[in-house]
């Protein structure tokens, strides 16, 4: 009879930061990896070591020990030191699809430069697995998957299975059922060894469907067990019924593949927290940091990279290294503890600072390249600006811009002489600040300078702005009255072509869909309740006092109107408890003030919201609810490259305590940018720009609840209502910063469509456009100086209007357009956004492009259409 083969895998799980900072971690990392190199080189029996599949760890080490690069390359090439495919051990449900993709792109690239990228999707500690990950892995040539969290024994009785992605892609999967640390503490006395073997190896053996057992020897920041080869030799002497070998994960899979047969198939997301906690409400932990992450990710992919590509097509260098630095800052924050926000306050300060750096670098890179384009445009007026459209089709709508304007009245025109409707929403005089910084490199040149300068926020309604290009505009001074946003009070109703929205007496909104004349009442209810959870889990208090904006006091309301936007601003004062003790005592004695703006823009099928709270209350949560009047069993949200349909209620909630789940299987879920409830004739959607967390509530499960923020007092707490037992993280670590005291801001949008289906409503396209704003660059001689760095006059070689790409007929949604990493081609990535129907790819892309994998070099199957959940990457020559 064949013996069980126990594959002992020496490894460490290296959190770059957690309750400790990355500075502390890095100091110990240098010591640790130095010992790994010495051991692998001097002990021929210590054949392999897994360095947590994160190439960032190697990169961090070589900053301090660059002289060891050749040593590392030799061991990586020999497949003895295992690294890759990740740059950092990323989460998959909180971050964007392009962040996941670039993490693997940079991770595999660096690992291959060192000699070898481990060909396994290794995620020992991420909080759940995305349903489209098999397709993403396969695009990097990875067809093996090794993980811990996400599958319960309700549907998986063994450790081996085939994981099928939402699009049908399958890969061989091995679960580490008791965690990556299961074999981290091996006894060395003979008397303790056999009982240990029977318990620890026996548990794994009982779950394995083959004679191959994966036995991880390591834990968090674990030092090497230098005598591991000797321990393995001892185990072989003591236990004749099994064979123990020191192996790598790749060797384990090589042997596993020979023995597996008739494996069960598990499809889609892996988000079951029965045996391993998934912390499903981590999506709203540290809402301030989540919002920063989401805004920067959207900016990088939807605005910066497309406009850099436009700039590149006009002869400017593409800033690969600068972008790589920005992305790596984001990857450092995308590691599962960092993006979760489940850290000490000190660590989260580091996370926040990285977002600050990434944001500033990205925005200044955009500013530079818009300038490189604009300064070569042969403007014919004094007050010029250029609008850049990052999407490959013409767009019409309202654009928000910041312009330096004179005191005189003006009209806005395009270079065809058409008047552009606009409204000034705010302006601040900055005459001295601007003009005192003007520098004339050529004193012989006369330049226009206003007598007074104002920085103004302006809304423009533009028509047919060039796709993936730009159009030029200018201000023409005249005696006409300036177009300002007019304030009126106390009107409480706004409307545009699509909606009428009115503030009702109970402080909710009444929304009328003008296309169908259907009226929706009691919309936009703010719900404030306690949060007895910690940095990992939202958990309701055992005794709570829930407050609703319907019971609040209306302090003020103002109505603003213009040709391009109408909005109302109102302030509500709610009475809420100060802390968890006050909730238990049912004492609502603190003012909780919400300032809300609801806006309708010309020709836009969205209702926009901005909410600001001066938060002075502890350990609580704020959500907003929209009653869609669509009773549903499922919600539809966007996920990695597509949509996902989830049940609005998990039946496991009825039995989770009886079955001893590690945490409650709540229906709080993540999204990328939208969540919808829909039936055969109606679609209601909430679009998010900040926190990506929702829940479907209400007696008929007809109400979308968006989490705006939640606050808590400790990194970890014990015996939560939704997570009984031990704390996750450190219960002694207090997190006062996580109370988010002070101003908290949230933006989101809402839309209802009738007489249509979800697929016909093009929700994903609307979300993409919402998060891909047309951007503006103002080029006038009086602005040239210290304020934006002085620059010489350039040859006017660009056109007043420019269009690079036209994909007007494609209903697949653009994920990204960027320059390829290694060639001068552009990479266009598209995905199917629908639940049921196929989507098309532009004929020009199919005919003239080359289909490639996510690695941007390996050829891929050519597709004219995409099934639901599918994506394609096409490389095109300029």
Nearest to 35 by CA among 16, 56, 9, 61: 61
**pLDDT at position 785 over 90:** no
Q: Is the dihedral of CA 185, 191, 194, 196 positive or negative?
A: negative
Q: At what angle do helices 320-334 and 97-114 cross, to 10 degrees?
A: 110
Residue 261 neighbours by CB distance under 10 Å: 8
Read out DSSP for 119-134? -SEEESS-SSB-TTHH
Per-residue confidence (pLDDT) for residue 439, from 0 to 100:
84
What 3-state DSSP class applies to 803?
A: strand
Whether the Cβ atoms of residue 826 and residue 875 lie closer than 8 Å to each other: yes
What 3-state DSSP class applies to 470?
A: strand
What 3-state DSSP class applies to 386?
A: strand
What residues form DSSP beta bridges with 6? 213, 244
**pLDDT at position 817 over 80:** yes
Beta-carbon contacts of 602 under 8 Å, excluding residues fewer than 6 positions away, are: 397, 398, 421, 461, 496, 497, 563, 564, 565
Alpha-helical segments (H) within 633-777:
758-761, 763-770
Backbone φ and ψ of 167, nearest 5°? -90, -5
Strand runs labelled E in 77-203: 81-82, 121-123, 144-147, 160-164, 170-175
Encode pLDDT of 755-776 as tens digits.
999 999 999 999 999 999 999 9
- Half-sphere exposure of 513 toward its Cβ, with a 13 Å CA cutoff? 18
Nearest to 529 by CA among 583, 571, 590: 583
What 3-state DSSP class applies to 739?
A: helix
Encode pLDDT of 117-146 as tens digits.
999 999 999 999 999 999 999 999 999 999
Beta-carbon contacts of 623 under 8 Å, excluding residues fewer than 6 positions away, are: 526, 527, 695, 705, 706, 707, 708
- Half-sphere exposure of 516 toward its Cβ, with a 13 Å CA cutoff? 13
List the domains of the chain with CATH numbers: 4-276 (3.20.110.10), 813-876 (2.60.40)
Percent of the chain with pLDDT over 70: 100
Nearest to 773 by CA among 388, 472, 424: 388
Backbone φ and ψ of 377, nearest 5°? -85, 130
Encode pLDDT of 371-398 as tens digits.
999 999 999 999 999 999 999 999 999 9
Encode pLDDT of 182-198 as tens digits.
999 999 999 999 999 99
| Cis? peptide before 200, omega within 30° of 0 | no
Whether the Cβ atoms of residue 441 and residue 414 lie closer than 8 Å to each other: no
What residues form DSSP beta bridges with 387? 471, 776
Average of pLDDT values for 139-155?
Answer: 96
Whether the Cβ atoms of residue 222 and residue 51 lie closer than 8 Å to each other: no
C-alpha 617 chain-centroid distance: 28
C-alpha 457 chain-centroid distance: 28
Tell me 730's DSSP state: -
Please state, in angstroms and rounded to a whole number, the distance separating the CA atoms of residues 174 and 261. Answer: 14
Q: Is the dihedral of CA 177, 181, 185, 190 positive or negative?
A: positive
Average of pLDDT values for 42-56?
Answer: 97
Percent of the chain with pLDDT over 90: 94
Per-residue confidence (pLDDT) for residue 691, from 0 to 100:
92
**pLDDT at position 99 over 90:** yes
Distances (CA, A) of 823 to 236, 312, 819, 859: 53, 12, 8, 14
pLDDT band at residue 488 under the 50/70/90 scheme: confident
Tell me 223's DSSP state: P
Nearest to 526 by CA among 570, 482, 484, 495: 570
Encode pLDDT of 260-291 as tens digits.
999 999 999 999 999 999 999 999 999 999 99
Measure the CA angle with vertex 553, ends 551 and 555; round to 5°: 155
Whether the Cβ atoms of residue 578 and residue 411 lie closer than 8 Å to each other: no
Backbone φ and ψ of 235, nearest 5°? -60, -40
Per-residue confidence (pLDDT) for residue 1, from 0 to 100:
63
Distances (CA, A) of 263 to 156, 238, 310: 10, 33, 48
**Per-position b or e across 329-355, b if 16+ CB within 10 A of its CB:** bbbbbbbbbbbbbbbbebbbebbeebb
Distances (CA, A) of 522 to 696, 706, 755: 16, 16, 22
Please state, in angstroms and rounded to a whole number, the distance separating the CA atoms of residues 650 and 629. Answer: 21
Whether the Cβ atoms of residue 19 and residue 729 lie closer than 8 Å to each other: yes
C-alpha 182 chain-centroid distance: 31
Average of pLDDT values for 315-340?
Answer: 96
> Residue 464 belongs to what H/E stretch?
strand 453-465
Q: Is the dihedral of CA 358, 360, 363, 369 positive or negative?
A: negative
What 3-state DSSP class applies to 601?
A: strand
Beta-carbon contacts of 696 under 8 Å, excluding residues fewer than 6 positions away, are: 632, 635, 648, 649, 667, 677, 702, 703, 704, 705
Whether the Cβ atoms of residue 25 and residue 223 lie closer than 8 Å to each other: no
Encode pLDDT of 494-547 as tens digits.
999 999 999 999 999 999 999 999 999 999 999 999 999 999 999 999 999 999
Average of pLDDT values for 655-678?
Answer: 96
Beta-carbon contacts of 52 under 8 Å, excluding residues fewer than 6 positions away, are: 11, 12, 13, 14, 89, 122, 124
Beta-carbon contacts of 584 under 8 Å, excluding residues fewer than 6 positions away, are: 541, 542, 543
Whether the Cβ atoms of residue 251 and residue 212 lie closer than 8 Å to each other: no
Nearest to 80 by CA among 50, 117, 53: 50
Whether the Cβ atoms of residue 36 and residue 2 lie closer than 8 Å to each other: no
Whether the Cβ atoms of residue 712 and residue 535 lie closer than 8 Å to each other: yes
Per-residue confidence (pLDDT) for residue 357, from 0 to 100:
98
Measure the CA angle with vertex 526, ends 525 and 530; round to 5°: 140
pLDDT averaged over the chain?
Answer: 96
Per-residue confidence (pLDDT) for residue 352, from 0 to 100:
98
> Residue 423 belongs to what H/E stretch?
strand 422-429
**pLDDT at position 293 over 90:** yes
Whether the Cβ atoms of residue 91 and residue 52 lie closer than 8 Å to each other: no
CA dihedral 230, 233, 235, 240 (to 10 degrees): -170
pLDDT band at residue 441 under the 50/70/90 scheme: confident
Alpha-helical segments (H) within 212-286:
228-238, 249-259
Please state, in angstroms and rounded to a whole number, the distance separating the CA atoms of residues 17 and 26. Answer: 9
**pLDDT at position 480 over 90:** no
**pLDDT at position 150 over 70:** yes
Q: What is the pairing mode between strands 509-513 and 499-503?
A: antiparallel
Beta-carbon contacts of 517 under 8 Å, excluding residues fewer than 6 positions away, are: none
Beta-carbon contacts of 644 under 8 Å, excluding residues fewer than 6 positions away, are: 131, 166, 268, 269, 636, 637, 638
Per-residue confidence (pLDDT) for residue 792, from 0 to 100:
83
Per-residue confidence (pLDDT) for residue 790, from 0 to 100:
83
Average of pLDDT values for 47-59?
Answer: 98
């Amino acid at each position: 009879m064949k013996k069980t083969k126990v594959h002992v895998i020496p490894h460490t799980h290296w959190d770059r930061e957690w309750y400790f900072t990355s500075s502390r971690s890095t100091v110990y990392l240098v010591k640790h990896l130095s010992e790994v190199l010495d051991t692998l080189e001097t002990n021929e029996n210590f054949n392999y070591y897994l360095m947590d599949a994160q190439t960032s760890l190697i990169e961090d080490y070589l900053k301090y020990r660059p002289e060891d690069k050749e040593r590392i390359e030799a061991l990586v090439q020999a497949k003895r030191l295992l690294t890759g495919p990740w740059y950092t051990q990323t989460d998959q449900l909180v971050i964007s699809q392009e962040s996941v993709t670039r993490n693997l792109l940079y991770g595999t690239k660096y690992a291959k430069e060192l000699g070898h990228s481990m060909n396994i999707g290794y995620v020992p500690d991420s909080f759940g697995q995305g349903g489209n990950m098999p397709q993403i892995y396969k695009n990097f040539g990875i067809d093996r998957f090794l993980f811990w969290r996400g599958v319960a024994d309700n549907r998986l009785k063994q450790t081996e299975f085939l994981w099928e992605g939402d699009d049908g892609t399958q890969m061989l999967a091995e679960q580490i059922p008791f965690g990556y640390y299961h074999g981290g503490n091996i006894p060395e006395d003979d008397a303790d060894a056999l009982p240990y073997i029977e318990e620890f190896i026996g548990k794994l053996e009982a779950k394995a469907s083959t004679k191959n057992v994966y036995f991880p020897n390591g834990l968090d920041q674990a030092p090497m067990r230098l005598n591991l080869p000797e321990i393995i030799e001892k185990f072989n002497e003591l236990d004749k019924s099994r064979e123990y070998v020191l192996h790598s994960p790749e060797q384990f899979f090589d042997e596993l593949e020979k023995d597996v047969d008739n494996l069960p198939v598990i499809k889609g997301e892996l988000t079951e927290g029965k045996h391993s906690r998934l912390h499903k409400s981590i999506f709203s932990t540290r809402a301030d940091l989540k919002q920063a992450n989401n805004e920067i990710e959207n900016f990088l992919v939807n605005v910066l990279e497309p406009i850099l590509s436009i700039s590149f097509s006009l002869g400017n260098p593409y800033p690969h290294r600068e972008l790589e630095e920005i992305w790596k800052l984001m990857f450092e924050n995308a590691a599962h503890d960092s993006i979760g926000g489940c850290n000490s306050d000190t660590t989260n300060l580091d996370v926040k600072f990285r977002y600050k750096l990434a944001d500033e670098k990205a925005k200044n890179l955009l500013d530079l390249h818009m300038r490189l384009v604009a300064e070569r445009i042969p403007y014919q007026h004094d007050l010029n600006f250029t609008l850049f459209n990052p999407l490959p089709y013409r767009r019409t709508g309202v654009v928000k811009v910041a312009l330096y304007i004179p005191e005189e009245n003006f009209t806005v025109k395009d270079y065809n002489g058409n008047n552009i409707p606009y409204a000034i929403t705010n302006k601040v005089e900055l005459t001295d600040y601007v003009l005192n910084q003007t520098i004339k490199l050529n004193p012989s040149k006369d330049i226009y300078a206003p007598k007074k300068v104002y920085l103004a926020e302006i809304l423009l309604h533009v028509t047919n702005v060039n796709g993936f290009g730009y159009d030029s505009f200018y201000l023409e001074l005249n005696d006409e009255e300036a177009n300002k946003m007019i304030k009126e009070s106390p009107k409480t109703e706004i409307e545009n072509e699509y909606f009428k929205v009115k503030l009702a007496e109970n402080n909710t909104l009444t929304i009328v869909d003008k296309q169908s004349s259907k009226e929706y009442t009691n919309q936009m209810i703010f719900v404030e309740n306690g949060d007895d959870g910690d940095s990992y889990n939202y958990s309701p208090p055992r005794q709570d006092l829930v407050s609703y904006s319907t019971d609040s006091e209306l302090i003020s309301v103002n109505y603003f109107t213009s040709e391009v936007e109408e909005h109302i601003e109102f302030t509500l004062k709610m009475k809420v408890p100060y802390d968890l003790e006050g909730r238990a005592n049912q004492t609502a004695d603190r003012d909780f003030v919400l300032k809300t703006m609801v806006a309708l823009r010309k020709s836009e099928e969205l209702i926009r919201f901005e909410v600001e709270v001066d938060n002075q209350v502890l350990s609580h949560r704020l959500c907003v609810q929209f009653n869609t009047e669509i009773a549903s069993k499922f919600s539809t949200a966007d996920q990695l490259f597509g949509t996902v349909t989830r049940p609005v209620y998990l039946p496991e909630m009825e039995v989770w305590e009886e079955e001893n789940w590690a945490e409650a299987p709540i229906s709080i879920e993540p999204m990328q940018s939208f969540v919808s409830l829909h039936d055969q004739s109606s679609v209601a959607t909430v679009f998010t720009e900040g926190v990506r967390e929702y829940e479907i509530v209400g007696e008929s499960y007809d109400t979308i609840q968006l989490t705006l923020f939640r606050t808590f007092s400790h990194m970890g707490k014990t015996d939560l209502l939704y997570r009984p037992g031990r704390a996750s993280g450190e219960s002694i670590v207090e997190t006062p910063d996580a109370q988010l005291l002070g101003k908290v801001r949230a933006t989101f949008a809402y839309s209802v469509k009738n007489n249509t289906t979800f697929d016909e409503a093009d929700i994903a396209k609307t979300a993409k456009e919402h998060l891909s704003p047309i951007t503006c660059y103002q080029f006038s001689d009086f602005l040239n100086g210290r304020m934006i760095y002085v620059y010489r006059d350039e040859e006017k070689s660009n056109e007043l209007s420019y269009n690079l790409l036209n994909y007007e007929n494609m209903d697949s949604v653009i994920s990204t357009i960027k320059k390829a990493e290694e060639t001068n081609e552009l990479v266009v990535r598209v995905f199917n956004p629908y639940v049921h129907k196929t989507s098309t790819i532009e004929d020009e892309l199919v005919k003239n492009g080359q289909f490639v994998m996510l690695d941007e070099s390996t050829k891929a199957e050519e597709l004219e259409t995409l099934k639901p959940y599918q994506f394609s990457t096409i490389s095109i020559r300029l």
